[in-house]
Amino acid sequence: MFDITPQKQQKITHFVKTLSKLEKQIISFPYFTKKEISGLVDYCNQLSFREAIPLTKTDVVQDFSVCFPAPKIGLMKKCINHFEQLFLDKNLKQFFSSSLIFNDIAVQKYRAGSSGIGVHRDGLRYRDLILIICLSGRSEFFVANSRDGSNIEVIDDTPGRLVLMSGPGFKNLVNPDNRLFHGVKNIENGRLSIGLRCNSRFH
């Protein structure tokens, strides 16, 4: 699982390049095997979760439990190493502010019927690329044009797909003020998701 293969390298390189040319700062594509997803679910099942603060300082509704920072052990460690290695590709260097180091790992669990997470932008400190991996459940990860949630577009993050979102430092996000508004809604039967981020304040 999470072996570095020419196929995976090609895929990552292709989709990062594609994202760099897109006006919208998000892309999603099939990536993981069923075994990788179920292995990550097993990893998540060992974690302990706490309730997220229901309303953030910026008035964002949060209805999920979270494990943060999630430990970099077992299959998660393999997964992170896999991505760090693939993003080192010499053809990708031009797109990032520096090498990607996923030092910020969050696992989020939403119960069935949860109100999800309201429209927000991820912190300025999360540079270059944010990876979203949905492991289970049916829900809608959406992007919007503004904080009031206009022009919503649902991104396909069905388990098995990888979502890449631009952060400050990535080639197509010159102005950090243009970070993407997004959220999660319509949690039909729960949602388990992993967010991998490069927190620029850690190093």
Site residues (vs ligand AKG, CB under 6 A): 108, 117, 122, 132, 141, 182, 184, 193, 195
- Nearest CA among 199, 33, 203 for reference residue 129: 199
Rounded to whole angstroms, the Cα distance separating 152 from 145 reads 7
Nearer CB in complex with Fe ion: 92/165: 165
Contact between 140 and Fe ion by CB under 5 A: the answer reads no
Indicate the residue among 84 and 122 with the shorter CB distance to Fe ion.
122
Shortest spacing between CB 48 and Fe ion, in angstroms: 22
143 binds, among ligand AKG, Fe ion, none (CB under 5 to 8 A by kind): none
Q: Closest residue (Cβ) to Fe ion?
A: 122
Q: State the binding partner of 40 from ligand AKG, Fe ion, none, CB within 5 to 8 A by kind.
A: none
Q: How far apart are the first and last CA of the chain?
A: 29
Distance CA 62, CA 54 (A): 5
| Shortest reach from residue 132's CB to ligand AKG, in Å | 5
19 vs 162 by CB, closer to ligand AKG: 162
- Contact call for residue 122 and Fe ion (CB under 5 A): yes
Q: Could you give the CA distance from residue 106 to residue 72 in angstroms, rounded to a whole number?
A: 11
- Prior bond of 6 cis (ω within 30°): no
Q: Does 84 bind Fe ion (CB under 5 A)?
A: no
- Angle formed at CA 85 by CA 81 and CA 87, multiple of 5 degrees: 120
